[in-house]
């Protein structure tokens, strides 16, 4: 296989466009081929055995690797600035496969409490059934985390910014703690994407994505991704081959296409989010705005802002806000919106809004939600790529004067 075209030292946008697996593509095409074959023919037994030896790139059966998947994986790895990437049929497949590639019965993992609900379910209800002990730690309680770690702790799992509170976790500090205790750091970078944040550069071991969100970016696919160094990813690839949650060629091709515009989309997502967060902060019926780029009102908020500034290129495009008047008023706002759609998920071209109490956190008792800071009047907005003025006008008519 020829080396990928763009070197890591070239710019992010260049790598996104020119980092395909082959150079040139067959038929001198400028875009990658979409290869649907489930299996591949060989000239000789020797050639087949040699290909099967290559667990990282060998193309002999599409559950292991297929050309279209390898192309998208090479592109994503270059954007992340790391050795390897693996694509999955969903973000949950990426999370479960990556974690299961690291742990076995008798091991222990520590998890920060503010993580995606599906991952909560996996760590709380599935892993313990396989003899893996799980300790939940308050997000950003670094002393509590150190206390929770044991010799058999194999992994620490967390995300930043978190959903829906948009807390920022110190990646460098987490890497230092993990390295000192010999525990691998697995990190969900879905909300930031490799354009805004490169966790492996801070010393983390493995990254996972719901590629369904910004990486694919158009709310038309379910997909996951994992990235990391070559040694780390060899285990992830082997585990993916066993559990079988590989991405299909058509989706992988669509991801390659989406990745080429990730930088431009993220810039516009962030521009829009900044304008909307500033508008919401001024609105008399909005009690509080959670956005990593908002002006700090306390020392702890200032520390969070500084951290976001240090480890993220911009602040992302998720905004949570609490309206005065609680749940009834929040319901009214959502139902009055005309342009911003009521819907779960995030990271697509269109703006979406949801009340966490009806979606990600619906299985929690009100008191549990409130302990996490999620009030009844909280709304979570995924800011899309529409004209920001139109989004503000829609919020204005829904919130009322
Ligand atoms: C932060 C985060 N991680 C992981 C997932 C799971 O991804 P998927 O729905 O693609 O399986 C989601 C889904 O909403 C998410 O928001």
How does residue 291 score in pLDDT terms, banded at 50, 70 and 90? Answer: very high
Give the Å distance between the CA of 92 and the centre of ligand 1.
6
Nearest alpha carbon to residue 270 among 356, 169, 197, 359? 197
* Closest ligand 1 atom to 93 CA: 11
Q: How confident is the model at residue 364, as a pLDDT?
A: 86
Separation between Cα atoms, residue 8 and residue 182, nearest integer Å:
29
pTM, two decimal places: 0.96
How do residues 313-334 score in pLDDT, each as one tens digit? 999 999 999 999 999 999 999 9
Residue 5 has pLDDT above 60, yes or no: no
User: Does residue 392 come out as left (phi exceeding 0), alpha (psi in the -120 to 50 range) or beta?
Assistant: alpha
Residue with tokens 């806000």: 321
Residue 1 has pLDDT above 60, yes or no: no
Class of domain 12-259: alpha beta
CATH number given to 263-399: 3.90.1150.10
Q: How confident is the model at residue 94, as a pLDDT?
A: 99
* Run of H or E residues at 323: strand 318-323
Give the Å distance between the CA of 213 and the centre of ligand 1.
8
Residues of the chain with CATH 3.40.640.10: 12-259
Q: How confident is the model at residue 393, as a pLDDT?
A: 98
Nearest alpha carbon to residue 31 among 265, 264, 266, 255? 255
Decide whether any atom of ligand 1 lies within 6 Å of the 86 Cβ.
no
Q: How confident is the model at residue 20, as a pLDDT?
A: 82
Tell me if residue 213 is catalytic. Answer: yes
Evaluated on CA atoms 361, 367, 372, 374, the torsion sign reads positive
Residue nearest to atom 12 of ligand 1 (CA): 210
Decide whether any atom of ligand 1 lies within 6 Å of the 163 Cβ.
yes
Residues of the chain with CATH 3.90.1150.10: 263-399
Q: How confident is the model at residue 96, as a pLDDT?
A: 98
Decide whether any atom of ligand 1 lies within 6 Å of the 274 Cβ.
no
How do residues 212-253 score in pLDDT, each as one tens digit? 999 999 999 999 999 999 999 999 999 999 999 999 999 999
Structure-block tokens of residue 124: 């709380």
Separation between Cα atoms, residue 248 and residue 38, nearest integer Å:
10
Could you tell me how many residues make up the chain?
A: 401
* Run of H or E residues at 272: helix 262-282
Residue by residue, what is the 3-state secondary structure of 53-108?
HCCCCCCCECCCCCHHHHHHHHHHHHHHCCCEEEEECCHHHHHHHHHHCCCCCCCE
Residue nearest to atom 11 of ligand 1 (CA): 91
Q: Could you tell me what percent of the chain has a pLDDT over 90?
A: 91
Q: How confident is the model at residue 401, as a pLDDT?
A: 62
Tell me if residue 63 is catalytic. Answer: yes
What's the chain's average pLDDT? 95
Decide whether any atom of ligand 1 lies within 6 Å of the 117 Cβ.
no
Residue 2 has pLDDT above 80, yes or no: no
Q: How confident is the model at residue 9, as a pLDDT?
A: 67
* Closest ligand 1 atom to 118 CA: 6
Q: How confident is the model at residue 73, as a pLDDT?
A: 97
Catalytic residue, from 75, 116, 154, 157: name it. 116
Q: How confident is the model at residue 4, as a pLDDT?
A: 42
How does residue 8 score in pLDDT terms, banded at 50, 70 and 90? Answer: low
* Closest ligand 1 atom to 344 CA: 14
Q: How confident is the model at residue 338, as a pLDDT?
A: 98
* Closest ligand 1 atom to 213 CA: 10
Decide whether any atom of ligand 1 lies within 6 Å of the 212 Cβ.
yes
Catalytic residue, from 56, 57, 63, 313: name it. 63
Catalytic residue, from 198, 213, 314, 369: name it. 213
369 to each of 84, 162, 365, 372, 373, how far by Cα in Å? Answer: 37, 14, 6, 5, 6
Strand residues in 163-285 grouped as ranges (E): 184-188, 206-210, 224-228
Residue 3 has pLDDT above 50, yes or no: no
Q: Could you tell me what percent of the chain has a pLDDT over 70?
A: 98
Residue nearest to atom 7 of ligand 1 (CA): 91
Residue 102 has pLDDT above 70, yes or no: yes
Residue 372 has pLDDT above 90, yes or no: no
């Amino acid at each position: 296989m020829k080396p990928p075209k763009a070197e890591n030292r070239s710019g992010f946008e260049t790598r996104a466009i020119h980092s395909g697996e082959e150079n040139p593509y067959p038929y001198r095409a400028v875009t990658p081929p979409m290869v649907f074959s489930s299996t591949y023919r060989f000239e000789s037994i020797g050639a087949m055995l040699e290909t099967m030896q290559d667990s990282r790139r060998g193309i002999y059966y599409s559950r292991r690797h297929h050309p279209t998947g390898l192309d998208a994986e090479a592109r994503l790895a270059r954007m992340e600035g790391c050795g390897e990437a693996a694509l999955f049929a969903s973000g949950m497949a990426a999370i479960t496969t990556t974690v299961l590639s690291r742990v076995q019965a008798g091991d222990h993992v520590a998890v920060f409490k503010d993580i995606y609900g599906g991952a909560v379910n996996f760590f709380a209800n599935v892993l313990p059934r396989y003899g893996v002990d799980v300790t939940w730690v308050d997000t950003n309680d670094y002393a509590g985390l150190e206390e929770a770690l044991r010799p058999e702790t194999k992994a620490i799992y967390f995300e930043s910014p978190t959903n829906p509170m948009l807390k920022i976790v110190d990646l460098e500090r987490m890497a230092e703690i993990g390295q000192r205790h010999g525990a691998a750091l697995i990190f969900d970078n879905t909300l930031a994407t490799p354009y805004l944040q490169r966790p492996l550069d801070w010393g983390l071991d493995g990254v996972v994505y719901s590629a369904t969100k910004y990486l694919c970016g158009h709310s038309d696919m379910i997909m996951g991704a994992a990235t990391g160094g070559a040694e780390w990813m060899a285990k992830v690839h082997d585990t993916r081959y066993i559990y079988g949650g590989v991405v299909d060629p058509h989706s992988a091709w669509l991801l390659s296409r989406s990745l080429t515009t990730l930088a431009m989309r993220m810039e516009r997502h962030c521009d829009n989010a900044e304008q909307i967060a500033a508008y919401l902060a001024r609105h008399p019926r909005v009690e509080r705005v959670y956005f990593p780029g908002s002006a700090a009102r306390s020392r702890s908020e200032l520390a969070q802002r500084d951290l976001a500034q240090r480890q993220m290129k911009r602040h992302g495009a998720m905004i949570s806000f609490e309206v005065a008047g609680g749940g009834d008023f929040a319901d009214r706002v959502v139902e009055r919106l005309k342009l911003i759609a009521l819907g779960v998920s995030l990271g697509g071209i269109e703006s979406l809004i949801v009340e966490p109490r009806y979606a990600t956190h619906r299985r929690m008792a009100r008191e549990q939600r409130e302990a996490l800071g999620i009030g009844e009047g909280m709304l979570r907005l995924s800011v899309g790529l529409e004209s920001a003025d139109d989004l503000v006008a829609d919020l204005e008519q829904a919130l009322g004067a």
